[in-house]
Structure 1
């Protein structure tokens, strides 16, 4: 009988031409870096454009506001609370709702809502493809809705517009869906940075709500876009904090505990806010009229509330500044807390176009201010103050409602410049996040798309396949087969050795790699027993290096349409890696990861033992 097996252990042999080598890997790395530079350049271009659009949006909101409430054509900022329309103020938001409904009906239904859930949905279900028309329709519809008194912020629409612009640019170039996702996130967060001048918070927003990953290829373009957006904010708006407030001092430990308790209470309030918003949305869904008219109905409610509480109308960034100052009368803060929430919840539930961040900040800030005032009244020596209570209230509200934990903390710091508030913010947002995590299945950002059957990632975890290397699951004491032996000889030999391996390296008499053999093909009785082995080989000229990770192996298997790859070290074949090995490694890693008391080195050692014990590779003696 010919040598069916080569030397026990994979033969040390030169790679075939076409196998990866050091120069090929270097070229691949250079190509990857060039693509990263390209995506970064596109992200910066989107950021420049969205900064200009942000300025355009704010200007357009001011123009619509002045026309609607003051009858003047001016781009200067005037709060709609200063109007003298009397009862006519009730009609103005309704007219805006009609216009938004018509734009949604004849333009795109995607302009409805506050922007971030829609962007998340396109990322998760549609390869980050957003209709280019949204780039134009979203800011115009939002300017109409907000300018006619809608109780929204400009940040949601600009985030949606930036995402649409990034997606559109990504569709014009030949890039992958993941790269398009990165440009979409870059455009969206650059818009937030351009409005508020908060680039770090914008980067965290991308990670927590849009990218669902953390890697150089995603963070670098987004960070560059957010820096560009912040520069645009300084150039087109102002250089100081967007929400100036009195200087805060570092609190005592007792005060820190009280602030954390305020955050806990705000966390429960965030649950109620989210549930009521979607309850109102469900009510609108049951109305026996076309959805185009819903924003008009919501507008009537906004106008009615605005008649009794004028400060609920419009963007209301001045409301946030006033609440953070700590100088507003308690009764006014209470009215703002209740009526702003009611107006915003009805308007958002009606499906009009607007954002959630500014209303959440207003409601949370007012809630924190009220709680702080109550505690100070009951315990004058508690060591807390109203401005700090308002700041942690607005941050904790956003953390609980959206579960954008890091975004909430860094946004509060950047938008106010009060870095002494770091510890209270950390305690309050952590408490609010815990309440939200344990008691609410979905957030205000994900509930809408969850109802459509879209599942969003609920945790940020490392890429397991990227962490595990080929070296950790490959046994170099594998076997190789002679390509010249017949199927009959191979079957008899495998039967006598009781070999359980699924794939085998096939090498010629000089040790050169010829291909991989599949056990299922070898045992296929429809194949002539006299057929020699090399006639049934998988001969894709792909290999994976022993130092590569399993993600690289999966990508190569998908590229070549193969179920196994030869493993190389120092340009020589030393083993074989199959998709079953990767699946077992992945499953084992997650099973072990649930056992919190095990050390990572023990995990990997057991992983190697498990893979070998399952017969994925079996060492045999040389047979004649």
Structure 2
């Protein structure tokens, strides 16, 4: 054993030396932009493997439970999601002490606020937690955990190869695109998602790394796991312009459903906060309510792709038969009622899954809601109201999926390409473009911001498309902090101030006490009339001259907040403190100079 350990240590040292030599060689021969192309290949392959493992594990867990009959043993489907969420909560509590970030908003946070840096646990923890949550029946999707995992791997590869922060952001977006592409098998959808949601206005040069990462991850994922999620076995019905008025109505309904989903999540979150404020414990109530919903409505179990596949291939009757109440109603009305209840309660089931401790995303739930809306509309028209024009349920299901996803995430192009790739419905591009636009417009009228934007704003993140914020927050206060202002003791006299003036090249003087806490400032103009009167040097105390600065900057504030203080006060210099202790001054002109240099670099490299 010692010989093996010594051999491994020697090889580890040799590999590190070779990697350092490679980094030195590449600095001389390969530019950062060229290196990003090569790294995007490795990133795509790595994220593809991770996503494949996630899909395989989730489906393996689901397959272990799939043979459980629904009859009198259906109560097990009440228990499985509860077990999954309890396992995830226990893991997070003991391994991460409860500090576990999840959700698509944290991708934006890592890109916008941390320049592509993510905590190390994001590279593996979401795979485990989301596989257990969804595999055991949690009513959420796998895409958000995969996107966050891919983005964190992108930031890791950028740090590994010593790339600049701007390239870390690009590779984080490449990892996110690779995650979407791998989990759905939709490379174009992954690229468009990154461009539309994460990296709008990116330079054309960096579309290539996005394409490479998404393609590589899709190839790996398709080789290792099956991706026939939404394939109509009888082919796709043709689009006829006689269906157009009904599709327009479907677009409006999907926009309303997306707004309802977002409203329901907001209302439930506010309710939970009020209950917690009053000291009520809600965890077990949330868990058992989720289990009851799944027991009452079997389509709410898991991601929901089996339900969508059943609707596309007209096997929805099986779900009505699985429900313990389905045999009490006529088939036509039973199916319609099942779909309506599923449509109304799916947002609640998704919220309960995530808020109670599970790990999942909203992509799959929005597809679920849109598909159910489209199928319900066609089903009611054909079988309940008996319209003279038969509406193709498969087409309405697919277009509804795209419309709701476009409205909820404000990402119409992503929705169009993703549904076309998932189903092979490329000849639906015209109705897809029209209906997603209508759904998007309907949702924007009701709720101007997307779900991702709303969640990102709560944690202080923003869209990287806002170049002003992106450049400002990439400037560190410590990088532009000026320390050449001579401090004056608060307990001193005018003589101490005169000595400071003689030693300083600035016209502003911070006043600090004996412990270094900032008490105020003195400007040269404040004392110009008395500094040439030696008789006053020992008679005038500093405490009589000091006054409060226009504003004080905390060293941990963002540069965006700093510039807001400069704009609000009209000042050109502001003191910086760290827990009240004086650390230096910020100059507005110096910040603007650095901002201009970075803006020029941004335009040259990224457009």
Given that 1:189 and 1:203 are in contact with CA atoms closer than 8 Å, whether structure 2 keeps it comes out as: yes
Would you say 1:359 and 2:365 are equivalent positions? yes
SS of equivalent residue, structure 1 residue 93: helix
**Does 1:401 pair with 2:405?**
no
How far 1:252 moved relative to its partner? 3.0
> Gaps (5+ residues) in structure 2?
1-26, 318-334, 471-589
1-structure distance, mates of 2:372, 2:50: 30
Question: 2:573 corresponds to which residue?
Answer: none
- 1:333 matches 2:335: no
CA apart distance, 1:31: 9.3
- Which of 86, 108, 112 lines up with 1:98 in the alignment? 86
Q: Which residue is equivalent to 1:424? A: 431
Partners of 2:116 and 2:152 within 8 A in 1: no
Counterpart-to-counterpart distance in 2, 1:450 and 1:37: 34
Distance 1:563 1:417 in 2: 51
Q: Does 1:191 align with 2:179?
A: yes
Question: TM-score, structure 2 length as denominator?
Answer: 0.65
Give CA deviations for 1:545-578 in whole Å, capped at 9, x if unaligned. xxxxxxxxxxxxxxxx8999xxxxxxxxxxxxx9
Q: Would you say the 8 A contact 1:127–1:181 is kept in 2?
A: yes
State the SS of the aligned residue for 1:133.
Answer: helix
> In the alignment, which residue of structure 2 is the partner of 1:318?
306
Q: From 444, 447, 451, give the equivalent of 1:440.
A: 447
CA contact (8 A) 2:85 2:357 kept: no
Shift of the 414–32 alpha-carbon distance from structure 1 to 2, 3 Å rule, reads farther
Q: How much does 1:350 deviate?
A: 3.5
Distance 1:460 1:260 in 2: 36
Deviation at residue 404 of structure 1 after TM alignment: 0.9
Q: Corresponding residue for 1:215?
A: 203
Check if 1:44 corresponds to 2:51.
no
Cα 1:136–1:84 change in 2 (3 A) is farther
Aligned to 1:384: 391
Check 1:289–1:296 CA distance in 2 against 1; reply closer, same or farther (3 A cut).
farther
Q: 1:382 to 1:47 in 2, by over 3 A?
A: same
Q: CA RMSD in A?
A: 3.7
1:410 matched residue in structure 2: 417
Query: Could you tell me how far apart the structure 1 residues matched to 2:359 and 2:69 are?
Result: 20
1:177 and 2:174 aligned: no
More contact order relative to length (CA 8 Å, sep ≥ 6): 1
The answer to whether the Cα contact below 8 Å between 1:101 and 1:295 also exists between their aligned partners in 2 is no
Instruction: Please list the CA deviations of residues 518-559 of structure 1 after superposition, one character each: whole Å capped at 9, or x if unmatched.
Output: xxxxxxxxxxxxxxxxxxxxxxxxxxxxxxxxxxxxxxxxxx
Indicate conservation of the 8 Å contact 1:260/1:424, yes or no: no
CA gap 1:81/1:167 in 2 versus in 1, 3 angstroms: farther
Counterpart CA distance in 2 for 1:81 and 1:145 is 21
- 8 A Cα contact 2:231 2:422, kept in partner: yes
**C-alpha distance after superposition, 1:367-403 (max 9, x if no partner):** 1111122334546333531111111111111011111
Distance 1:423 1:460, change over 3 A: farther
- Which deviates more, 85-94 or 130-139? 85-94
Tell me if 1:346 matches 2:339. Answer: no
Instruction: Name the SS of the counterpart of 2:292 in structure 1.
Output: helix
Equivalent position of 2:475 in the other structure: none
> 2: CA distance between counterparts of 1:460 and 1:266?
32
Match of residue 304 from structure 1: 292
TM, length-normalised to structure 1: 0.63
| Residues 62 and 147 in structure 1, CA contact (< 8 A), matched pair in contact too | yes
The equivalent position to 1:231 in structure 2, one of 219, 224, 231, is: 219
Which residue number corresponds to residue 478 of structure 1? Answer: none
Q: Is the 8 A contact 1:79 1:314 kept in 2?
A: no
What whole-Å deviation, never above 9, does each CA across 1:163-206 have from its counterpart, x for those lacking one? 12112222223212221111111112212211221111111100
Offset, 1:457? 6.3
**Residue pair 2:230, 2:312 contacting (<8 A) in 1 also:** no
User: What corresponds to 2:509 in structure 1?
Assistant: none
Structure 2 contact 111–464 (Cα < 8 Å) conserved: no
Partners of 2:275 and 2:51 lie apart in 1 by 35
Asked if 1 retains the 8 angstrom alpha-carbon contact of 2:109 and 2:460, the reply is no
Task: Give the corresponding residue for 1:262.
Answer: 250
How many pairs does the alignment contain?
A: 437
The answer to whether the 8 Å contact 1:442/1:450 transfers is no
What SS class does the counterpart of residue 214 from structure 1 fall into? coil
Assess, with a 3 A threshold, how the Cα gap between structure 1 residues 90 and 142 changes in structure 2: closer, same or farther. Answer: same
Paired with 1:248 and 1:460, the residues of 2 have a C-alpha distance of: 43
